[in-house]
Structure 1
Amino acid sequence: MANLIGGGRRPLPLLSTPHKGGRSALTCQFRCGNACAHDVANTTDNAYFGDVVKEALSRRGVLRAGALGALVAGVGVAGAAPALADEPEAAAAKGWTGGGNGGLNFTPVAPSTEDALRIPDGYSSSVVARWGDPVLPDAPAFDFDNQTAEAQAKQFGYNCDYVTLLPLGRDRALLWVNHEYTDESLMFRGYTGGATATEEQIKIALAAHGGSVVEIERAGNTGQWKLVTKGRRRYNRRITAQTPMRFTGPAAGSDLLKTAADPEGRNPVGMLNNCSGGTTPWGTVLTAEENIDQYFVNGDKVPEAQKPYIARYTITTGTPAGNRRFDRVEERFDLAKHPNEANRFGWIVEIDPFDPDSTPIKRTALGRLKHEAANTTLSRDNHLVVYMGDDSRFEYIYKFVSKNRYIPGFDRHNRTLLDEGTLYVAKFTGDSPAAEIDGTGKLPSDGAFDGSGEWLPLVSGDKSYVEGMTAAEVLVYTRVAADRVKGGATKMDRPEDMERNPVTGGVYVALTNNTNRTAAQVDEANPRPSNKHGHVLELVEKGNDAGQRTFAWSLPLVCGDPADPATYFAGYDKSKVSPISCPDNVTFDRDGNLWISTDGNALGSNDGLFVMPVRGKERGHLRQFLTVPVGAETCGPLVSEDQRSVFVAVQHPGEIDGASPDQPASRWPDGDQPRPAVAVVWHAKNKKIGS
């Protein structure tokens, strides 16, 4: 029997049917503004892979170079900013081996509907930080029924997502956490919508967005970590929807970014809906703004020339009942009055966690999307590479390659790399006849869903590769540019997190689901219609060099019930694997194992965290490591480099239709109101995770 942490055994509340993909209506409303209920934003006729047969590219090539100094020292994160070893032997010398069974030997956790964080036998867990915990030294203790915006701006924010660690030594570190969105119906008693909310409630929600930097310390000689609660805590910081920021890169100062409050177009305020992210080799955090469309009103009242672009980003028209109505306290959210304000969100934001007085930077060279993440690596010749997904149905996969090279230790130079470079979008081609991709999940005759692909350039500095669009327009309206670019970018099934394996060099993409894909739209990279369970794509660039323009790809994991013939686990015996639905975020341990968190499990059980070796005889042996409480999504995740700790962000516990503070669907983690939180799991005997 797996351990139970939290509310113990209790049945799921008898509430209304979940929305598509297993999410509740509450999650759909507050997280993404009911995106699945809207028409698909991408109405272009770009190809869905097609049946062009191309020779798959060679998957051989040496692994790329170099440890990253402080980021792989002490408590550093496995693969947080991965540059690969010059030779496989160098990776092995660090203990990053990735062979055999992946070093995994634990009894998988069974699917669960319990209101608890369930972990394998022999493991322990605890909460590191929860909504409302003091972040700044003068923050008050959390009081659910007496919240204030002033207090929230000093306390840990609401729904936590991306998690990363930056070392301050062996037993101390900085924890960065994104706060993606707020669910006011669970935060405040009697909440009936943005139109009737008090101004203080709206201000609290603004302050609960953004991110937190907190100092944490190891508990003894274990894998447990806890908040530092005494002393100066000089790095602790809250960033919110009201934090002053600045634009850099080719689009900074563009007319498309200018507003009455910022006529220079260089000083945006705040960040919203920060989903996943990444870290840079110089120790800063990249955090990704995602579903920014839902925060605005009156998108239908912008100038006529802007309306097609507003529609492409599904910006809210009118003032729908579910809108938070931030415009009631900050006029900038009313696009009838400030039509460019929406263009100032949807960016990758760089934050220096080691300088609490620094100004966050929105890096325009990385384009404006519904960004899921921004994970970095280095090319063979030391150019910085950033991988990004656009998390909506039929959207695209992107990467950025810097113009200049990364120079270890030259911090001032390195911090300019994200402002000059080339932004690409991916085009995929299957290598099997179209007739063999029939929507049943049956593998084609060559035994794999696979093929080749290329990165199509969109913009490089001030040069646009998209006919009829300037460089600034490409960067501000990147979705439109990807629709129009010559060669035809490929529509995917909600590309979310995308990260390079620090051992093998393969790039893995979580494709969460797409129930809107029809039988006529299936292709080899998206082989199922009404794809409610999602899949994972593996991409290997030519010569295993992240700077190359061409790549080979395959699908090692097609998710769902293993008993379903439409699922695939890299050829592994499906009677021995765990069921998985809706992959969302990915990370790696030092052995190169792929860890996958899920969002919206459509198999009838709670979301969880899974791990799967990606090479050797155990490739495809997927096992569930934990499940999260009722109504929650598994975010993060993060495996410490010493592989003694696994961090997960438990987002929106209790977010079940019909739930409220007076009738909570979850009481995790403290037995009272549900509070989104970051938890850590470690082996009770201080062994390596997975052993």
Structure 2
Amino acid sequence: MSLKPLALFVAHDGQSSRSAMTCTYKCANACFHEVPNTSAGAYFGDIVGSLNRRGLITGGAAAVLAVGAASALTACGGDDTPGGNGTGTPAGTPGTGTDFASVAPNKEDALVIPDGYEQAVVIRWGDPLFPDAPAFDFDKQTAAAQARQFGYNNDFAALLPIEGQPNAFLLVVNHEYTTGPQMFRGYNEDAPTDEQIEITKAAHGLGVVEVKGEQNSGKLTPVFGKYNRRITATTGFTLTGPAAGSEFLRTTADPTGTKVLGTFANCSGGVTPWGTILSGEENFHGYFANGEKVTEPTAAARIKRYGFVAGPTANRWERTDPRFDLAKEPNEANRFGYVVEVDPWNPDSTPIKHTALGRVKHEAATIHVTDKGEVVCYTGDDEKFDYIYKFVSARKIRSGGGAASTRENLTILDAGTLYVAQLTGDHAEQIDGSAKPPSDQGFTGKGRWIPLLETGTDGKGKSLVEGMSAEEVAVFTRLAADKVGATKMDRPEDIETNPYTGKVYAALTNNDNRGAEGKQGVDEANPRKLNKNGQVLELDDDHAGTEFTWSLLLVCGDPAAADTYYAGFDKTKVSPISCPDNLAFDPYGNLWISTDGNALKSNDGLFAVVLDGPNRGATKQFLTVPRGAETCGPVVTESRVLVCVQHPGEDDDATPDNPLSHWPDGGNAQPRPAVTSVWRTGGGRIGI
């Protein structure tokens, strides 16, 4: 594998609009169970010590690993590359790229886009990835066919240029979860058939598919290319890092504790400068049955902290495979909840699970490279009152291509230091739960990164948390973060670094338990009681260091409401946004936000936000997804926008015989999750 440019363009919930069915199958009703984090935590006013800000290391990761100098954005080439002027700053003035007519909130069963734009489905659930795969037939599904077809519920997406092939790309997508009642007629939730169970296993994981573009169009067409691949819930993975081989990861089937079958609950992810894809295993707790039968006190406390369910799971995989029954294989669950790494350029490669990055409900894994060559990986733990983490590599990134470079970079996430964030507010005494900005500058504060685990280049770990071994910190990372007083956040989801400024952005989706009786109170970074709409956090981080400053970019919700904030911008001129989830950057340094569970009685959508200049905070809706769907995986380039439309038509009253949606095929067709491309009519740049 040769080194690839960093594709920087790759880029439930309170009272949200998610259906109960979505909550059941996506996150095992996490929002309706007791919050797993019952630790005392650290209130802003209780944290002491100097947190003086250190200088920001600016600049994005460098393309082709020309580390730390100019932005990667000018080095990728082609008209699908984020634009720039060769100086490491966006081309154009602040707000360039947002010149489109805002889409109004709606409840249409359609992907609604601005006037002057076109759209086309790239690939949908069940479309064949290989010549020997059959065409999709909703009523004649088999596990063997699904393993050769595009999976279900696409979430993260990356679009990687194929070297030497103009307008050709690898589309890499993960498949988060399945919903049996929407996938099969007459589905018995208590007793799915063996074949149905195997089909749902095959519909999880990741997919790699070659796609071909067209001149003056954003349309992408899948091809049966040599890189095409499916990774499912039964694909072999290698465990690396300090927990590999530990007693916590050994099972009957794998007494070595180093090999595991499958990945599932994959949510957002990231792209590395060495050309691989990262994906976060998120709501893995919902795949393991009978958590209540683990009664040994220490093990039971660990089970409770990760929110494992009592009794059977929604998918019922435990009925045919004992590894999904905690009463029979209590360690199997410890082998999920990691950042996984896949080499899309080598279909025969074995994917990796990185234990050095800790085990939480990873929403994302986003890479930043410092000017000294350290690799920094940011990730959020998507649960009410859980934490934000980063990992700083011990090795420096290596350029030059060749086998030696490839080997070294493929192990760069196996050695380094794992941190968790602790935040303090500048105006803690003014925060009363109303989300009223405490100053003209809005919500601001300082923070520090608390070290949890240090892993050497020999793969051996050193715990930095009193009373826990390195293996325990790696496998039970939430408990380690509890012990050091990390700041409880409102569901940290995607975290992305601005490739031009180096600032870090975190989507905090919502938390209706914030400030509720007996629950953690408000603080300046989480300033709203019973928070149903979420916020977006901006960090000015010393990436390889331990200190940062922060501010809130958005406090989402109805702009007419007093408890919202759009970076100080005139709220009469913004699109209402609720429940931020996935993040991406366009070629001009604007932040794009997709939503999940819009609490404002409209379909979810994709929004562009200006970050700099007099229009900072200007928020415009670019599209909305169909009824019942979630907006995922935005990729924003000069010439196209990709979105993953997840679970269209998913509703408590919907069935295959009475569907809520017919998207994307229309007529009487069943709804199918799909990836869609949007572009300017006749070609041209997005938002220009």
Give TM-score scaled by structure 1 length: 0.91
Provide the C-alpha distance between the structure 2 equivalents of 1:346 and 1:252, rounded to a whole number of angstroms.
Answer: 14
Distance 1:652 1:65, change over 3 A: closer
Distance 1:19 1:492, change over 3 A: closer
Provide the C-alpha distance between the structure 2 equivalents of 1:259 and 1:178, rounded to a whole number of angstroms.
Answer: 26
- Structure 2 counterpart of 1:315, from 308, 323, 335: 308
Distance 1:76 1:598, change over 3 A: farther
8 Å CA contact 2:13–2:510 kept in 1: the answer is no
- Structure 2 counterpart of 1:176, from 169, 172, 175: 172
Report whether the alignment pairs 1:682 with 2:679.
yes
Give the equivalent residue in structure 2 for 1:8: none
- Structure 1 counterpart of 2:486, from 485, 489, 498: 489
Provide the C-alpha distance between the structure 1 equivalents of 2:237 and 2:291, rounded to a whole number of angstroms.
Answer: 24
1:155-304 pair list within 5 angstroms: 155-168=149-162, 169-193=165-189, 195-229=190-224, 233-302=225-294, 304=296
Give the equivalent residue in structure 2 for 1:10: none
Paired residues, number: 652
- Structure 2 counterpart of 1:73, from 57, 63, 76: 76
Shift of 1:346: 0.6
Report whether the alignment pairs 1:48 with 2:43.
yes
Provide the C-alpha distance between the structure 2 equivalents of 1:655 and 1:598, rounded to a whole number of angstroms.
Answer: 16
Provide the C-alpha distance between the structure 2 equivalents of 1:654 and 1:181, rounded to a whole number of angstroms.
Answer: 15
Provide the C-alpha distance between the structure 2 equivalents of 1:56 and 1:569, rounded to a whole number of angstroms.
Answer: 27
Local SS of the residue matching 1:139? coil
- Structure 2 counterpart of 1:399, from 390, 395, 412: 390
Q: Deviations over 1:94-149 (max 9, x none)?
A: xx347432332111000010000000000000000100000122110000001000
Provide the C-alpha distance between the structure 2 equivalents of 1:588 and 1:480, rounded to a whole number of angstroms.
Answer: 33
Give the equivalent residue in structure 2 for 1:12: none
8 Å CA contact 1:508–1:537 kept in 2: the answer is yes
Provide the C-alpha distance between the structure 2 equivalents of 1:351 and 1:76, rounded to a whole number of angstroms.
Answer: 26
Shift of 1:413: 1.3
1:356-505 pair list within 5 angstroms: 356-409=347-400, 410-434=405-429, 436-445=430-439, 447-461=441-455, 462-485=461-484, 488-505=485-502
8 Å CA contact 1:432–1:446 kept in 2: the answer is no
Give the equivalent residue in structure 1 for 2:68: none
Local SS of the residue matching 2:279? strand
Provide the C-alpha distance between the structure 2 equivalents of 1:565 and 1:303, rounded to a whole number of angstroms.
Answer: 47
Shift of 1:56: 7.8
Give the equivalent residue in structure 2 for 1:31: 26
8 Å CA contact 1:54–1:451 kept in 2: the answer is no
Give the equivalent residue in structure 2 for 1:670: 665
Letter in 2 for 1:299: G
Q: Deviations over 1:380-435 (max 9, x none)?
A: 3111100000000000000000011001232221111111000000000001142x
Letter in 2 for 1:128: V
Local SS of the residue matching 2:16? helix
Provide the C-alpha distance between the structure 2 equivalents of 1:404 and 1:105, rounded to a whole number of angstroms.
Answer: 42
Provide the C-alpha distance between the structure 1 equivalents of 2:94 and 2:149, rounded to a whole number of angstroms.
Answer: 45
Shift of 1:302: 2.8
Q: Deviations over 1:511-556 (max 9, x none)?
A: 00000111670100000000000000000014xxx11210000001
Local SS of the residue matching 1:293? helix
Provide the C-alpha distance between the structure 2 equivalents of 1:277 and 1:174, rounded to a whole number of angstroms.
Answer: 15
Provide the C-alpha distance between the structure 1 equivalents of 2:156 and 2:522, rounded to a whole number of angstroms.
Answer: 31
Local SS of the residue matching 2:302? helix
8 Å CA contact 1:52–1:430 kept in 2: the answer is no
Local SS of the residue matching 1:444? coil
Q: Deviations over 1:274-309 (max 9, x none)?
A: 000001110000011000011111122235031110
1:14-25 pair list within 5 angstroms: 20-25=15-20
Give TM-score scaled by structure 2 length: 0.92
8 Å CA contact 1:586–1:596 kept in 2: the answer is yes
Provide the C-alpha distance between the structure 1 equivalents of 2:33 and 2:60, rounded to a whole number of angstroms.
Answer: 45
Distance 1:48 1:139, change over 3 A: farther
Local SS of the residue matching 2:21? helix
Local SS of the residue matching 2:112? strand
8 Å CA contact 2:236–2:350 kept in 1: the answer is yes
Give the equivalent residue in structure 2 for 1:344: 335
Report whether the alignment pairs 1:512 with 2:506.
no
Structure 1 window deviating more from structure 2 (299-308 vs 154-163): it is: 299-308
8 Å CA contact 1:74–1:170 kept in 2: the answer is no
Q: Deviations over 1:176-228 (max 9, x none)?
A: 001000011100011121x3111000000000000100000102332221212
8 Å CA contact 1:124–1:681 kept in 2: the answer is yes
Letter in 1 for 2:506: V
Q: Deviations over 1:134-176 (max 9, x none)?
A: 0122110000001000000000000000000111133101000
RMSD of aligned C-alpha atoms? 2.0
Local SS of the residue matching 1:137? coil
Structure 1 window deviating more from structure 2 (441-450 vs 135-144): it is: 441-450
8 Å CA contact 2:101–2:114 kept in 1: the answer is yes
Distance 1:207 1:433, change over 3 A: closer
8 Å CA contact 2:61–2:370 kept in 1: the answer is no
8 Å CA contact 2:129–2:150 kept in 1: the answer is yes
Structure 1 window deviating more from structure 2 (257-266 vs 169-178): it is: 169-178
8 Å CA contact 2:14–2:511 kept in 1: the answer is no
Local SS of the residue matching 1:21? coil
- Structure 2 counterpart of 1:326, from 310, 317, 321: 317
Shift of 1:686: 1.1
Shift of 1:561: 0.5
Local SS of the residue matching 2:538? strand
Which structure 2 segments of 5+ residues have no match? 1-11, 66-71, 456-460
8 Å CA contact 1:177–1:211 kept in 2: the answer is yes
Distance 1:160 1:467, change over 3 A: same
Q: Deviations over 1:241-288 (max 9, x none)?
A: 000111011111011000010000000000010000001110000011
Q: Deviations over 1:566-598 (max 9, x none)?
A: 111111111110000000000001111000000
8 Å CA contact 1:97–1:503 kept in 2: the answer is no
Local SS of the residue matching 1:20? coil
Letter in 1 for 2:502: G
Q: Deviations over 1:31-74 (max 9, x none)?
A: 00111110000000012333769888558656236631298524
Distance 1:351 1:431, change over 3 A: same
Local SS of the residue matching 1:247? strand
1:1-12 pair list within 5 angstroms: none
8 Å CA contact 2:168–2:213 kept in 1: the answer is yes
Distance 1:659 1:112, change over 3 A: same
Letter in 2 for 1:428: L
Provide the C-alpha distance between the structure 1 equivalents of 2:649 and 2:493, rounded to a whole number of angstroms.
Answer: 23
Shift of 1:649: 0.2
Local SS of the residue matching 2:44? coil
8 Å CA contact 1:51–1:429 kept in 2: the answer is no
Provide the C-alpha distance between the structure 1 equivalents of 2:47 and 2:306, rounded to a whole number of angstroms.
Answer: 31
Report whether the alignment pairs 1:141 with 2:132.
no
Which structure 1 segments of 5+ residues have no match? 1-16
Report whether the alignment pairs 1:637 with 2:637.
no
Report whether the alignment pairs 1:123 with 2:126.
no
Provide the C-alpha distance between the structure 2 equivalents of 1:577 and 1:170, rounded to a whole number of angstroms.
Answer: 38
Distance 1:433 1:391, change over 3 A: closer
Distance 1:344 1:214, change over 3 A: same
- Structure 1 counterpart of 2:326, from 335, 350, 359: 335
Give the equivalent residue in structure 1 for 2:590: 593
Shift of 1:445: 3.4
Give the equivalent residue in structure 2 for 1:602: 599
8 Å CA contact 2:53–2:547 kept in 1: the answer is no
